[in-house]
Amino acid sequence: MDLRELTTIRVGGPAAEFFAPATADQLVETAREVWAAGDDWIALGGGSNLVVADDGVPGTVIHVVTRGIERLPGESVVLRVQAGESWDDLVALTVEQGLAGIEALSGIPGSCGAAPIQNIGAYGQELSSSLVSIEFLDYLSGELLRLPAAELELGYRRSALKGGRAGIVISIDLAVAQNDGALSDPIDYDQLATALGVSVGDRLPVAEVRSAVLALRGAKGMILDPADPDSVSAGSFFTNPIVSAAFSRSLPPDVPRWPAEDGPSATAAPRVTPLESYVPGHLAPRTVSAASGVKLSAAWLIEHSGVTRGFRLPGSRAAISSKHSLAIVNTGGATAAQVAELARYIQTRVLSAYGVVLQPEPVLVGVHV
- Reduced to 3 states (helix: H, G, I; strand: E, B; else coil), residue 94 is helix
Beta bridge partners of 111: 86
Beta bridge partners of 258: 295
| Cα 187 from Cα 198, distance rounded (Å) | 9
Contact 62, 44 (CB under 8 A): yes
Residue 306: burial class (beta carbons within 10 Å; 0-12, 13-18, 19+): exposed
Q: Residue 252 — φ and ψ, nearest 5°?
A: -55, 150
Distance in angstroms between the alpha carbons of the first and the last residue of the chain = 25
Cα 127 to chain center, whole Å?
Answer: 11
Contact 28, 66 (CB under 8 A): no
| Cα 12 from Cα 274, distance rounded (Å) | 14
Using alpha carbons, select from 143, 145, 131, 369 the residue that is nearest to residue 237. Answer: 369
Beta bridge partners of 229: none
What is the dihedral sign for C-alpha 111, 115, 117, 122? positive
Contact 8, 51 (CB under 8 A): no
Q: Which residues contact 185 (CB under 8 A, 6 or more apart)?
A: 100, 101, 103, 104, 125, 129, 177, 203
| Cα 272 from Cα 42, distance rounded (Å) | 15
Q: Residue 341 — φ and ψ, nearest 5°?
A: -60, -45
Residues in the chain: 369
Strand pairing category for 233-236 and 327-330: antiparallel
Point out the residues that are catalytic: 157, 236, 361
Beta bridge partners of 63: 44
Contact 248, 284 (CB under 8 A): no
